[in-house]
Amino acid sequence: MRTLAHSFYMTLRHFRNLMRQPLYIAFTLVQPIIWLVLFGQLFKKVVLLPGFGASAYVDFLTPGVVIMTVLFGAGWSGMGIIRDLDLGVMDRFLVSPVSRVALIAGRLIQLALIAVIQSVLIVALGMILGARFPGGARGVGLLILCAVLLAVPIGALSSAMALVARKEETVIAASNFILLPLTFLSSVFMAQNLMPGWIQAVARFNPVEWAVVAGRSALSAHMNWPLVATRIGLLVALTIITAGLATRAFRIYQRSV
Amino acid sequence: MILVETLNSVRHQSSSSSQPELPAIEARNLVKTYRGDVRALDRLSFRVEAGAIFGLLGPNGAGKSTTVKILTTLSRPDSGEARVAGLDVLRDAERVRHAIGCIGQKSGVDSEATGRENLTLQGRVYGLRGTELKRRVAELLERFGLDQAADRVTRTYSGGMQRRLDVAMGLVHHPSVLFMDEPTTGLDPEARADMWKEIARLAREEGITILLTTHYLEEADRLAQRLAIVDRGRVVAEGSPEELKSELRGDTIHMELAQAEDASKAHSVLSRLEELRELVIDTRTLYARADRGATTVPIALATLESAGVKVASVTVARPSLDDVYLRYAGRSFREADQGGSR
């Protein structure tokens, strides 16, 4: 009960602070538009490759951009922890009776809500650009679920890393090091069966790939139920593990201060 | 034996008028070592009576902040025990957190939120709700002169305003023990004087026990009823500022030499003078104590002159906390403060 109430207050805090940064919000909205238009034009002809599978690249790209946008948003969430550490806000909370779980949960709930908003906007934008999703509302709903289930564990990992590393530079370097490779070692931009064999092999262990494959299948005319269910299952498992790690990270942090 | 007891009871009455009770803070043999074998605390012990303002005085890096982190449950000691408000900080951390207020060295104010929002969230974390919370927040905003700025984002606050908000946040839940880690560092003289008044008022009118750390001798001298001088992770002296100073008999003489190379020669000739005691040398400054400074200085100067040592300046003063520190830590406070961060 206390944890729930505290999580709610923390979520409120993060949302309120976010709303005070209209420029930041503007950039996060413009970014996916650029991805969709830019990559949509750049790779327009790849659908002509034999075996690509999709008839229009924008159909294929839209769920990819949803996942990528959510991934990057979540991947940088540790910076918020760094900011709280530098300001002394984190220490102030840690000497108060606030629930430790709530300190992480507040951020993750905010990430999840942002992921939902971003997904809806990008899907709408994709449709304006001519994308068609035979999977319908159910498909879009499942894609959003996948996006949320990617945002939460990535956000939890980023937070955990920030608590342990405690340095802005480390978090920036690690995020840069991880996020782009995670994107390109998946079928965000390129059909799975056209990727080199080794990338296909690596992608099987990539949560970004789980999310994008499941989301894309959910949007297609013939959803592959077992595929979607197993990938969602994997993402749920990852969410639980990483949320546990992030809460644990407080103990590591407190041992080092 | 009887004499000792009488003395103790006198001391009790002078430091707090209330009847003897459990100490509000008790630290026993705290040891804390950081990575890289940095020993921050080396069997540090002290106790604070309820309702008192207690100062932990020491140079940067002496272990004051580490002590506060342990007492406020942020950090854990490697060994040793500590009780705050009668509760064990390790076994009863959760209850300790309800009893204490903390104003850390770093601000702890969310710069993207308004003053009111900061206070409200703080209150909620401690379980305040509804009209009670609203009233408490409004009351604190007014008391700390922040009601005009209450709905401004704190990024726009001056340093003094932010510090006042910090203190207000530490008080939102009516703590019985308040920890203030370097509360006036970075404040301009006016804001510092205001903060001193506020700290004194809190102890006097609200009966809050206050532990403050400081590396300003003047601050400790002014505010603290009792203080512990911390050096290299240990308490080297404890008592009221007056007690500590009166332990140093006579006057303090500081002599600054024109040339640092003369230091050892000066030390050897002066140590033969009977009038001077506790001669300490710190690069080019000589510290000594004398029963009557005014008559001793000419003798000391004559001695130095005949030895060919030039003196740049001499001061004679009543003992200050700086001298107390010098006596117990074996180096001057300023030197330790500059070279202290390790």
**Structure confidence at residue A223 (pLDDT):** 93
Which residue of chain B comes nearest to A19, CA vs CA? B112
Confidence of residue B38 (pLDDT cuts 50, 70, 90): confident
User: CB–CB of B41/B233 below 8 Å?
Assistant: yes
Which residues does chain B have within 8 Å of residue A96's beta carbon, measured at their own beta carbons?
97, 122, 125-126
Q: Which domains does chain B have, with CATH numbers?
A: 17-244 (3.40.50.300), 249-318 (3.30.70.100)
Query: Is the separation of the CB atoms in A162 and A245 below 8 Å?
Result: no
- For the packed helices A136-165 and A100-128, what is the interaxial angle rounded to 10 degrees? 140
**A9 contact B CB<8A:** yes
The single residue listed with the structure tokens 């140093």 is B248
ipTM of this model?
0.89
CA distance B123 to B118: 9
Question: Using 50, 70 and 90 to split pLDDT, how confident is the model at B339?
Answer: low
Contact between B104 and A254 using a beta-carbon 8 Å cutoff: no
For helices B189-206 and B159-171, give the axis angle rounded to 10 degrees: 20
Contact between B125 and A95 using a beta-carbon 8 Å cutoff:
no
Question: Cβ B106–A88 below 8 Å, yes or no?
Answer: yes
**Number of CB pairs, chain A paired with chain B, less than 8 A apart:** 75
Closest-approach residue (CA) in chain A for B123: A96
List the single residue in B with minimal CA-CA distance to A87: B108
Mutate to test the interface with B, among A6, A89, A95 (most CBs of B within 10 A): A95
Choose, out of B110, B120, B129, B162, the residue to mutate when testing the contact with A (most A CBs < 10 Å): B110
- pLDDT digit string, tens, across residues A54-99: 778 999 999 999 999 999 999 999 999 999 999 999 999 999 999 9
- Mean pLDDT along residues B329-342: 67
In angstroms, the first-to-last Cα distance of chain A is: 29
* Of A5, A17, A96, Cβ closest to residue B97: A96
pLDDT, tens digit (0-9, with 9 covering 90-100), for B159-206: 899 999 999 999 999 999 999 999 998 889 999 999 999 999 999 999
Distance from CA of B340 to the nearest CA of A (A): 18
Residues of chain B found within 8 Å of residue A87, distances taken between Cβ atoms: 106-111
> Do residues B175 and B99 make contact, with C-beta atoms less than 8 angstroms apart?
yes
